[in-house]
Structure 1
């Protein structure tokens, strides 16, 4: 339910911005992409799937599942990438890729925030390891996902204020 509200709020903001500043952005592309991916996820989630034995889920903590991507975060990532394309913004594209990467990592792994052994090995200089776990709550991960968008907004706002003063 949050994703359609997010797309509606974003569309309303862009409509207000267009009225106030006369600056138009292809927000229907943003909203259409997000809602389209959300609809696609709903269709994919409705497809019956076979049951996985509980032993298979607990035996391999590094198991990755594409079904973990059936999350409302994926349409948000796709919508941000569409908005980056519409605005021709490399910064928004980087933010969209960041959200996609975190969504894939967090929602595709068995445990939320699981760090695979090979990544932990890279971080420790090649030492053999079983992996690890970030001790963050889901809200912290959402903040981490939004961080590039916040930085983008602050930089844009600062540039706009400098231009108005000049």
Structure 2
């Protein structure tokens, strides 16, 4: 029995129908893969991980007893330390860095070590839940340059 060739019109129609039925999120893709090192009991670290996931990042969590070795390996000066450390695409992230600034870092690709939000400022992602009473304090995101110097990257008021 001879085979009937498939028309281009039928192929396009089938493709368009399949695309119309496909979930939109399947085409959105991930914002990136982040590895996070945190202590097992830190609640604000878990909240920061959720912030990243809610903003499209794929997150791998490594529970460790002390994050200082990771911070040192990442090249973040102790003065810019926080409760968790992370890495994405060759950049270090220290503390409660907002997803928007991580996206900006990946867009701009500066010659730098990474970003840091020192300490645990109220209102930063992961430090903004109801357990903090809705309080928000100004905080800064710093770009840690090669050699350890830091400069203001973004201010949150």
Bucket of the pairwise TM-score, normalised by the shorter protein: under 0.3
Bigger Rg, structure 1 or 2: 2
Higher helix share: 1
TM-score (norm 1): 0.24
TM-score (norm 2): 0.25
